[in-house]
Amino acid sequence: MSDNRIAMPQIKGLRRRWFISTLAVIALIVVLTVTLFAVTTITNNTATVREGLIIKATTTADFFASYVTRTYSEYYDSAYLYIESFDDAAKLDLQFIDTTGRILLSSYSMTAGQTPGTSDIGDALNSGRVSSWVGVNEGTGERIMAVSAPLRYSDGAVIGVMRYVTSLRLVDRQNVVGILTAVGIGLAVILLVIFINLVFLSSVVEPMQEITAVAQRISEGSYGTQITKKYEDEIGELADVLNDMSLKLSRAERAQTEFISSISHELRTPLTAITGWGETLAFDEGLDEDQKRGVGIIIAESRRLTKMVEELLEFTRMQDGRFTLSCEPMDVGAELEDSIFAYKEILKDDGMELEYDPSDAELPMINGDAGRLRQVFFNIFDNAAKYAAEGKKLYVGTRTLDGEVIINIRDFGPGIPEDELDKVKMKFYKGSSKKRGSGIGLAVCDEIIRYHGGSLTLSNAEGGGTLVQIKLPGMAE
């Protein structure tokens, strides 16, 4: 069953912070403003209708009290005549109510004889003051407003109530229109704020993303990379600082490479002499055991230094672009087996067993430099002998997958701390190891494999130890 759900884009970084903080505040302010406007609109519109009815009811009641109402019969006759000549019957229901709360006369004849029982009538009869009421017409279901004013004899006694009743349909419609208008304006304000701020955020986020990408390249070793300066503001100042830092790092890197290259060349001649004379002295029959042991140490240490010097020279060639490969079609499996055979005795002297598990399927030919690849294999074997000798075992296996040759070399030592795994291939990085070395062997190996179009990865194997995996692209048949 296919999943047709649309993945929503994730909002991250500055945009996410803005949406959570700024937009939330703006939305809250707009909601509160619209709510306040709605409440004010409803209150004011209702109050306006109420005040108009109260004024009308008060004026009419005073007229009756002053000029008409002398007896109940006169009150009834006057009320009847007033209703007959009532001009606002289309908008208002004019009612005359007796002291029991029953409607005597009404401009809507259908309501005559009824007893509304609303609070405004009782308040007007009991308190002698104009009173209002808002509720729902049970017959129509619409909201209505009623205003009741007490009617008095000339002596001040209450004879009944004159009541105006009006529908609030038009008021409610006016309220709805006003509220919807306010909501529309509020939404428009929010959308406008979002648009303006997104434009501003894009002018900040996009340059920052470009700067971050270039800074990432600089941190990975692409010293000298420059950021295009687009703005004369804080972002532009940040670009200037990073560009200056990149240039200084590039100069320092160049100076370091030149220094390493110069020192390495200077060290080769004396080291060659020391190694040569050490080997000559080793065959001198006149040396006693301690002297032979000392000469052996001289030879071993000079060879170790020579190897470090060669690695440094190799590394400087890679850095300044003088590193080249002599590639030709080759059987990498055969080259690996030759390397294992050549190094197996060295591992045996260190008390380590090497287990080789060749691929059942024939490995494809690759376009490679046999000498450089052997250098990679020897360096990895040497690291295993140096850092994982206590594991007593080294496993080497090959297989092919999707036209690639995969070589797995695993030791059974303590492994590499997790926080150092992504750094061990960095130049001059030695981590927490106390073993001696230049710290560039794996960096050189990684570069050689990369020059072959492949990859070299390190991970901690399940059950302990370090797994080095080399992938090399096979040649198309």
Select the highest-mean-pLDDT range: 10-14, 74-78, 80-84, 469-473: 469-473
pLDDT tens readout for residues 354-363: 889 998 888 9
Residue the block writes with tokens 């000298």: 224
Amino acid at 424: V
Alpha carbons 161 and 87: distance in angstroms, whole number = 20
Q: Could you give the 3-state DSSP secondary structure of residue 455?
A: strand
Instruction: List all residues 6 or more positions away from 103 whose beta carbon is below 8 Å from its beta carbon.
Output: 95, 96, 97, 111, 112, 113, 114, 115, 116
Q: State the pairing for strand pair 393-401/404-411.
A: antiparallel
Residue (of 291, 314, 292, 310) closest to 302 by Cα position: 310
Q: Could you tell me the CA-to-CA distances from 36 to 171, 316, 378 in Å, in that order? A: 18, 73, 80
pLDDT category of residue 405 using cuts at 50, 70 and 90: very high
Q: State the pairing for strand pair 143-152/158-167.
A: antiparallel
pLDDT at residue 128 above 60? yes
pLDDT category of residue 471 using cuts at 50, 70 and 90: very high
Residue 1, pLDDT score: 40
Residue 321, pLDDT score: 63
pLDDT category of residue 7 using cuts at 50, 70 and 90: very low
| Structural domains present in the chain | 13-174 (3.30.450.20), 234-319 (1.10.287.130), 328-473 (3.30.565.10)
Residue (of 350, 337, 330, 331) closest to 377 by Cα position: 337
Instruction: Name the strand (E) or helix (H) holding 211.
Output: helix 169-219
| Rounded average pLDDT over 270-299 | 81
Residue the block writes with tokens 């009150």: 75
pLDDT category of residue 133 using cuts at 50, 70 and 90: very high
Residue the block writes with tokens 């002499």: 273
pLDDT category of residue 132 using cuts at 50, 70 and 90: very high
Instruction: List all residues 6 or more positions away from 284 whose beta carbon is below 8 Å from its beta carbon.
Output: none
Angle of CA points 124, 128, 132, to nearest 5°: 30
154: its two tokens = 């000339």
The residue among 55 and 208 whose pLDDT is bigger is 55
pLDDT category of residue 91 using cuts at 50, 70 and 90: confident
Alpha carbons 380 and 347: distance in angstroms, whole number = 12
Residue (of 361, 346, 427) closest to 394 by Cα position: 346
pLDDT at residue 290 above 70? yes
| Rounded average pLDDT over 165-174 | 88
pTM higher than the cut 0.75: no
Count CA within 13 A, CB hemisphere, residue 385.
Answer: 19
| Rounded average pLDDT over 56-79 | 76
pLDDT tens readout for residues 35-53: 898 888 888 888 998 999 9
38: its two tokens = 């709605």
Instruction: Name the strand (E) or helix (H) holding 239.
Output: helix 234-282
121: its two tokens = 């009538």
Give the 3-state DSSP-derived string for 298-347, with helices as H, strands as E and coil as C. Answer: HHHHHHHHHHHHHHHHHHHHHHCCCCCCCCEEECHHHHHHHHHHHHHHHH
Cβ proximity of 400 and 364 under 8 Å: yes
Cβ proximity of 100 and 116 under 8 Å: no
Alpha carbons 267 and 473: distance in angstroms, whole number = 37
Report which DSSP code applies to 474. P
The residue among 314 and 228 whose pLDDT is bigger is 228
pLDDT at residue 265 above 70? no
249: its two tokens = 């790092």
| Rounded average pLDDT over 367-377 | 88
Alpha carbons 12 and 300: distance in angstroms, whole number = 57
pLDDT category of residue 454 using cuts at 50, 70 and 90: very high
Q: Is the dihedral of CA 23, 29, 30, 32 positive or negative?
A: positive
Residue 319, pLDDT score: 64
